[in-house]
Structure 1
Amino acid sequence: MQMLYDSDSFVVVHMLPDADRSGATDDTPQPPQLVRHGFEIVDKRSGKEVYLDGSWAELFQQQILAWQLNTPTQEEVEDTLDGYIGLAQNPVVVH
C-alpha cells in the first residue's frame, strides 16, 4: 500500500499486490493467484470511497503518469478526483 495523495478533501492510496502470498512452509504447490493492483480514492467531505481496479485502475494509472509529466495544480487534481467520486457507493468504515 502506498499513499499517493492526501489533502483536506481526498486521500488516494495505491494498493500493490503482495509479491508472495503463498504462506506455505512446505513444498506443497499453491494455486496460481491473479496479481492485480488498484487505487482507493476516499472523499473526506462525503465519507465515501471508491476502489478502482481492472480497466478503471489502468485509466487512473495513465492519469497519474500524465500528472508526472505535467505537474497539475491541487485544484486540477481534486477536480479529477471529484469525477471519480461519482462512482463511490461505499461509506468509509473504520475497523
Structure 2
Amino acid sequence: MHMLYNSDSFIVVQFDVPTDVPQAVEEGPQINRGGFEIVDKFARKEIFIEGALAESFSQGVQALIEDGEPSEDELDAFIERYAVMGQQPVVMH
C-alpha cells in the first residue's frame, strides 16, 4: 500500500499484490493484482479501481506528469473523473 496523493479534496492509495505465477522476462512486465483506492473527502465516498480502469488512471496520471508539473487543481480535476463513480461511503471505525 502506497499513498500516492493527498490533497484537501482527494486521497489516492495504490495497492500492489504480486501474483505467485512465475513469469519469464520475455513475456513482458510482471503481472500484479491490485489497483487504486480513491477517496473523495468532500463527498465522503470511495472507489477501488482495478484492471483496465486502473491502467487508464495510471496512464492519465503519467501523461499529466510528462506534460510538466501539474498543479493540485489539475490533478484534482483528473482524479474527480474517477472519484464520481464512487458509491461506497467512507466509514470511520
What's the TM-score once normalised by structure 1's chain length?
A: 0.76
Deviant stretches of 4+, over 3 Å:
none
Structure 2 runs not aligned, ≥5 long: 21-30
More strand by percentage? 2
Partner of 2:39: 42
Q: What residue is the counterpart of 1:26 in the other structure?
A: none
User: What letter is aligned with 1:75?
Assistant: D
CA RMSD, 1 decimal: 1.8
Structure 1: gaps of 5 or more residues: 21-33
- Distance change in 2, residues 1:75/1:16 (3 Å): same
Q: Is the 8 A contact 2:18 2:33 kept in 1?
A: no
Report the residue type matching 1:81 in the other structure: I
Tell me how far 1:19 sits from its aligned partner.
Answer: 6.4
Query: Counterpart amino acid of 1:55?
Result: A
Whichever of the two has the greater Rg, that structure is 1
Name the count of aligned residue pairs. Answer: 82
State the partner residue of 2:14: 14
Distance 1:94 1:55 in 2: 29
What SS does structure 1 have at the residue aligned with 2:76? helix
Match of 1:5 in 2: 5
Identity of aligned residues (%): 43
CA offset at residue 8 of structure 1? 1.0
Q: Quote how far apart the aligned CAs of 1:94 are.
A: 2.8
